[in-house]
C-alpha cells in the first residue's frame, strides 16, 4: 500500500471513531431519537463509556473499499471490448492520421492555401476537443469521448507544428506557447481522468507529430518534441504507466539524435547542453513517480530506462566530442557522467528519495565508470581499475545489504578476467610465454587482490559465494607463478622474426613439478587446518597436473624430459599419499 493510502486509511479510522463517539453522546443526551444501539442505564448508576456496545460495523462502512469498488473496471466480454474500446481507439487514431494526411497532402494536391488548411485543422481539432470534454463530463464517461479528446490533442499538436515549422504562419514563440498549453491540457486530462488512451494517442501522437508531418530537424522542431515529452513526463509523475515512459523514450530519443547529428559540427556546446537537458527529463520520467511517492521497491522498467538514458547521454556525447577532435574531453565526458550519477545517488541517501532509487543511480554511475575506464585505460591499468570497482562494490554490498550489488561484483571481475585471458596472459602463454611479463604480473596481482578482498566481505553470505571468490583468488595465485616459470625458463626468444619458436622442454617439466608440488602442499595444509576446501583445491590441481603429464608431456616432450616429468610427478604423488594417510589417521575428530 502506498504511503498516502496508509495515511488516508488512518484518517478515515479516526473520523469513524469520532463519529461513533458523537453518536454515543447524542444517544445519552437526546434518548431514543438517535438510532444508535446502547446499553440501558439505570438511574443509580450509569455505565461507563467502555461498557457501551459499539455500533455495528454496517453503520459506518469503510470508504476506501467502496471507492476501490467504484473504480474497478467491469469485466468486458469480446463484444463489449470491440464495441466500447477497440472502435474508440481505432476511430481516434483514424481522426489523428486523417488530420495529418490533410495537412501534408493538401499542399501537394493544391486543394487550398496554407493558412486555410492550418486554420481548418486547428479549428476542427479544437471543436473535437470541446465535444469530447462535454461528452465525457455531461453524457457519460465513455471510451468514445476519451478517444475524441486524445485524437484532438495529437491533431492540435500536429497543426501547430505544421503552422510554425513548415509554413511559417505562426511565430515560433507563440507556437511553442500554444504547444505548451496543449501539453499542459493533455497532462491534466490524462491525470484527472486516469485515461491511458489520452497518454497513448494524445501525448505519444504529439511526440511523433514532427516526424509524421515531415518537419525538418531544426531547433524549433526539437522544442516542439520536447514540450510533448515534458507533457508525458508530467503524466508519469502522477501515473505509474511503464509503457508510456518506455514509448516516450523510444519515440523521442531518435529525434534527439538526428538533431544532434545535424547540429554538433557547428555548435558542440549547444549539442552537449541539449543532451544534458534531455538526460534530466528522462531521469524524471524514469523515477519521478518513485521520488514523489516513496516506494519500497523499484520497477524494472525504471531501472532499464535510467540505464538506457545514461548510455544515450554518454554515447552521444562521446561521439560528438570524438568527431570534433576532442578525444581527451570525450573520455572526460563519460567520466563526469559516471561521477554525476554516483554523486546524485549518494546525495539521495540523505533526502526523502527511497533507498532503492539511490542504489539504482549509484549502480548506473558505477556501470558508466567501468565504460569510462575502458575508454581511458588499457592493459594492466584497465584490469586494476575493473578489479578496484569489484572490490568497492563488494564493500558496498556488505554495508548496504543489497544482494544485487553482488551481481555487479561478478560482472567487473569477469571483465577483468576476460581481459587478462585474452590480452595480458592468455592460456597459450603457459606454453610459449607472455609478450610482457611485467604487465601480466601487475594485472594478475590486481585481480587476485580484488578477489581476496571481495571474498573477505562475504562473511555473512552463503558459503558458496565466498568459496567461488576464494577459488578465483587461489587459481590466480597459481596461474601467476606458472607464467613466470614458463617465461623465465623459456629456451628461445623471437627477435626480429615472424617464425614461430618451438616451446622449451625445461619449462614444461618445471611447470608440471610446480603444479604437483603446490597440489600436495595444499592437501597437507588442508589436513593440518582441517579445511576441506584446501584439500579439494589441492586434489583438483593434482588432477590437472596428472592430465598434463599423461597427455601433453607424453606427446610433446623428448624422452629425457618426459622421464623427468613422470618421475617428479610420481614422487610427489607418493609423498602426498603418505602424508595424507598419516595425517588423516591421527587427525582428531575424524
| Sole residue written with cell 575508454 | 375
For the chain, the C-alpha Rg in angstroms (whole number) is 36
Write 548-557 long-range contacts (CB < 8 A, 24+): 548/511, 548/512, 548/515, 549/512, 552/508, 553/508, 553/509, 553/512, 556/503, 556/508, 557/505, 557/508, 557/509
Which grid cell is 271?
549539442
Predicted local confidence at residue 71, as pLDDT: 43
37/472 Cα distance (integer angstroms)? 75
Helix (H) / strand (E) containing 486: helix 463-488
442, three cell numbers = 601487475
- Neighbouring residues of 523: CB distance < 8 A, sequence distance ≥ 6: 534, 535, 538, 539, 542, 576, 579, 580
C-alpha cell of residue 132 = 469530447
pLDDT of residue 376: 83
Residue in 479, 449, 455 with CA at minimum distance from that of residue 541: 479
Q: What is the pTM of this model?
A: 0.66
Whole-number pLDDT of residue 461: 57
Each residue's pLDDT expressed in tens, for the chain with a length of 590 residues = 454 566 666 677 777 777 777 666 666 555 554 444 444 444 444 444 434 444 444 444 444 444 333 444 445 555 444 444 566 657 767 777 777 766 666 555 666 677 887 888 888 888 888 888 888 888 777 788 888 888 888 888 888 888 888 788 889 899 999 999 999 999 999 999 888 888 888 899 889 888 888 787 888 999 999 999 999 999 999 988 988 999 999 999 999 999 999 998 889 999 999 999 999 999 999 888 887 887 766 677 888 898 899 999 999 999 999 999 888 899 999 999 999 888 888 877 766 667 777 878 888 888 888 888 888 888 889 899 899 888 888 887 777 666 667 788 888 999 999 999 999 899 999 988 888 889 999 999 999 999 999 888 876 555 777 888 889 999 999 999 999 999 888 744 444 444 444 456 888 888 999 999 999 999 899 888 888 888 899 999 999 999 988 888 888 888 788 888 888 888 888 888 888 877 764 444 44
Closest C-alpha to 129, from 108, 111, 156, 162: 156
Say how far apart CA 78 and CA 483 lie, in whole Å: 70
The CA-based dihedral angle spanning residues 482, 488, 490, 492, taken in that order and rounded to the nearest 10 degrees? 150
Cell triple for 200: 497513448
Q: Quote the pLDDT of residue 231.
A: 94
Q: How far apart are CA 98 and CA 125, in angstroms?
A: 11
Q: Which candidate, 518, 516, 507, places its Cα nearest to that of 556? A: 507
Q: Which helix (H) or strand (E) holds 506?
A: helix 506-529
Distance CA 439, CA 297 (A): 44
Distance, in Å, from the CA atom of 436 to the CA atom of 280, rounded to the nearest integer, reads 45
**Running DSSP on this structure, what letter comes out for residue 75?**
P
DSSP 302-355: HHHHHHHHHHHHHHHHHHHHHHTT-HHHHHHHHHHHHHHHHHHHHHHTTSSS-H
DSSP state of 504: P
Least Cα distance to 569 among 543, 549, 547 occurs for 549
Which residues, 6 or more positions from 569, have their beta carbon under 8 angstroms from its beta carbon?
Answer: 512, 513, 516, 545, 546, 549
Residue 462 has a pLDDT of 59
Give the three cell numbers for residue 15: 473520523
Residues 6+ apart with CB under 8 A from 579: 520, 523, 524, 527
20 neighbors 60 (Cβ within 8 angstroms): yes
Task: Confirm if 425 and 434 have CB atoms less than 8 A apart.
Answer: yes
How many angstroms separate the CA atoms of 96 and 101, rounded?
9
- For 33, which DSSP code? G
- Please give the C-alpha separations between residue 141 and each of 150, 290, 353, 401, in angstroms, as whole numbers: 14, 29, 36, 48
pLDDT of residue 112: 67
Rounded Cα distance between 259 and 217, Å, is 5
- In angstroms, what CA-CA distances link 255 with 210, 216, 275? 9, 10, 12
Q: By three-state DSSP, how is residue 581 classified? A: helix
- HEC states along 55-72? CCHHHCCCHHHHHHHHHC
Amino acid at each position: 500500500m502506498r504511503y498516502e493510502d496508509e495515511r488516508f486509511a488512518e484518517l478515515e479510522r479516526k473520523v469513524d471513531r469520532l463519529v461513533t463517539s458523537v453518536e454515543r453522546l447524542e444517544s445519552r443526551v437526546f434518548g431514543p431519537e438517535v438510532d444508535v444501539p446502547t446499553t440501558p442505564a439505570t438511574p443509580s448508576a450509569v455505565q461507563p463509556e467502555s461498557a457501551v456496545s459499539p455500533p455495528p460495523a454496517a453503520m459506518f462502512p469503510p470508504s476506501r473499499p467502496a471507492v476501490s469498488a467504484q473504480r474497478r473496471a467491469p469485466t468486458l466480454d469480446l463484444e463489449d471490448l470491440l464495441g466500447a474500446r477497440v472502435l474508440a481507439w481505432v476511430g481516434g487514431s483514424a481522426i489523428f492520421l486523417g488530420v495529418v494526411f490533410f495537412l501534408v497532402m493538401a499542399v501537394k494536391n493544391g486543394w487550398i492555401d496554407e493558412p486555410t488548411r492550418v486554420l481548418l485543422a486547428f479549428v476542427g481539432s479544437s471543436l473535437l476537443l470541446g465535444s469530447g470534454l462535454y461528452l465525457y463530463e455531461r453524457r457519460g464517461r465513455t471510451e468514445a469521448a476519451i478517444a475524441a479528446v486524445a485524437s484532438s490533442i495529437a491533431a492540435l499538436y500536429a497543426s501547430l507544428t505544421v503552422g510554425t515549422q513548415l509554413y511559417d504562419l505562426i511565430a515560433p514563440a507563440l507556437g511553442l506557447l500554444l504547444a505548451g498549453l496543449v501539453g499542459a491540457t493533455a497532462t491534466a486530462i490524462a491525470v484527472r481522468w486516469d485515461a491511458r488512451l489520452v497518454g497513448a494517442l494524445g501525448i505519444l501522437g504529439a511526440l511523433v507529430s514532427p516526424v509524421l508531418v515531415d518537419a525538418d530537424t531544426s531547433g524549433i522542431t526539437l522544442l516542439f518534441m520536447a514540450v510533448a515529452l515534458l507533457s508525458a513526463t508530467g503524466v508519469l509523475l502522477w501515473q505509474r504507466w511503464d509503457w508510456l515512459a518506455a514509448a516516450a523514450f523510444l519515440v523521442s530519443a531518435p529525434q534527439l539524435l538526428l538533431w544532434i547529428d545535424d547540429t554538433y559540427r557547428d555548435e558542440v556546446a549547444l549539442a552537449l547542453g541539449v543532451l544534458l537537458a534531455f538526460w534530466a527529463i528522462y531521469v524524471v520520467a524514469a523515477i519521478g513517480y518513485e521520488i514523489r511517492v516513496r516506494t519500497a521497491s523499484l520497477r524494472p522498467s525504471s531501472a532499464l530506462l535510467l540505464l538506457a538514458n545514461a548510455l544515450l547521454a554518454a554515447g552521444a556525447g562521446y561521439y560528438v566530442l570524438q568527431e570534433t577532435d576532442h578525444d581527451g574531453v570525450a573520455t572526460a565526458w563519460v567520466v563526469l557522467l559516471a561521477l554525476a550519477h554516483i554523486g546524485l545517488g549518494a546525495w539521495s541517501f540523505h533526502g526523502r528519495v527511497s533507498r532503492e532509487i539511490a542504489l539504482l543511480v549509484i549502480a548506473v554511475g558505477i556501470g558508466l565508470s567501468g565504460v569510462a575506464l575502458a575508454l581511458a585505460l588499457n592493459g594492466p591499468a584497465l584490469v586494476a581499475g575493473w578489479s578496484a570497482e569489484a572490490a568497492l562494490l563488494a564493500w558496498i554490498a556488505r554495508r548496504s545489504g543489497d544482494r544485487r550489488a553482488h551481481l555487479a561484483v561478478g560482472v567487473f571481475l569477469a571483465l577483468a578476467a576476460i581481459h587478462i585471458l585474452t590480452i595480458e596472459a592468455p592460456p597459450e602463454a603457459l606454453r610459449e610465454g607472455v609478450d610482457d611479463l611485467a604487465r601480466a604480473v601487475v594485472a594478475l596481482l590486481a585481480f587476485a587482490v580484488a578477489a581476496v578482498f571481495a571474498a573477505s566481505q562475504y562473511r555473512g553470505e552463503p558459503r558458496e559465494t565466498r568459496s567461488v571468490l576464494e577459488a578465483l583468488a587461489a587459481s590466480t595465485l597459481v596461474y601467476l607463478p606458472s607464467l613466470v616459470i614458463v617465461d623465465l625458463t623459456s629456451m628461445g626468444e623471437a627477435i626480429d622474426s615472424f617464425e614461430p619458436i618451438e616451446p622449451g622442454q625445461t619449462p614444461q617439466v618445471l611447470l608440471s613439478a610446480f603444479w604437483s608440488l603446490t597440489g600436495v602442499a595444499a592437501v597437507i595444509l588442508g589436513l593440518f587446518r582441517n579445511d576441506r576446501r584446501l584439500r579439494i583445491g589441492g586434489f583438483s590441481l593434482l588432477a590437472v597436473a596428472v592430465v598434463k603429464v599423461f597427455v601433453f608431456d607424453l606427446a610433446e616432450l623428448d624422452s629425457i624430459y618426459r622421464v623427468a616429468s613422470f618421475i617428479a610427478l610420481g614422487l610427489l604423488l607418493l609423498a602426498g599419499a603418505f602424508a595424507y594417510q598419516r595425517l588423516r589417521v591421527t587427525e582428531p575428530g575424524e
